[in-house]
Structure 1
Amino acid sequence: MNNIVTVQDAVTAFADFMEPTDAELDAIDAEMPVIRAEMDLLDAQIIVIDRTPSELDERRIRRARRRVLAAHRDQVNGAVGQTGGAA
């Protein structure tokens, strides 16, 4: 019988240098507003998946879609501003 610890050791043997770099973590942090907005939209859509959406549900979904678009816009505008390109 194989011990699970040996499998775990083999999987995590190279974990020290497989960690995300600071640049990758910064990129994730920059995307967090978009990720959160998309999660809110998904939550609003999941709520109505098994029922007919009420007017309140429809408003919640519309607002969540607007937040996703605004987060994408802000991310793109921020990226353009950082690279010095014209908007």
Structure 2
Amino acid sequence: MKSIITLPATSQALAFDGEPLAAELDAIELELPLIAAEVDLLDVEIMTLDRSATELDERRIRRARHRVLVERRNLTNRIAVQSGGAA
């Protein structure tokens, strides 16, 4: 039978306190408009699951998809500006 050898924990693993870093919070804040747009799109799609979509529902879905695309573009541009490039 082979014995299992455990490795000592690294100091970095011990230092983790379970809280997000400031950089991670900044990244979430940067992506928040896109996250909200995707949640809105999901809400609109869920509304139409148990019934056939009406013309108004289709318009809502189109608008929500458009908003997601706009927020993705805006996020890409914000990231490009922060990194010094142009999108």
Which bin holds the TM-score, normalised by the shorter protein? 0.7 to 0.9
One-letter amino acid of the structure 2 residue matched with residue 70 of structure 1: V
One-letter amino acid of the structure 1 residue matched with residue 78 of structure 2: G
Gapped runs of 5+ residues in structure 1? Answer: 1-13
Gapped runs of 5+ residues in structure 2? Answer: 1-13
Offset at 1:74?
0.2
Higher radius of gyration, 1 or 2: 2
Q: Give SS of 1:52's match.
A: coil
Structure 1 segments (4+ residues) deviating >6 Å: none
Q: Give SS of 1:53's match.
A: coil
Identical positions, percent: 56
Q: What is the TM-score normalised by the length of structure 1? A: 0.79
- Number of aligned positions between the proteins: 73
Q: Partners of 1:73 and 1:41 in 2: how far apart?
A: 16
Contact 2:45 2:61 (8 Å CA) reproduced: yes
Contact 2:33 2:71 (8 Å CA) reproduced: yes
| Bigger proportion of residues as helix | 1
* Residue 45 of structure 2: aligned partner: 45
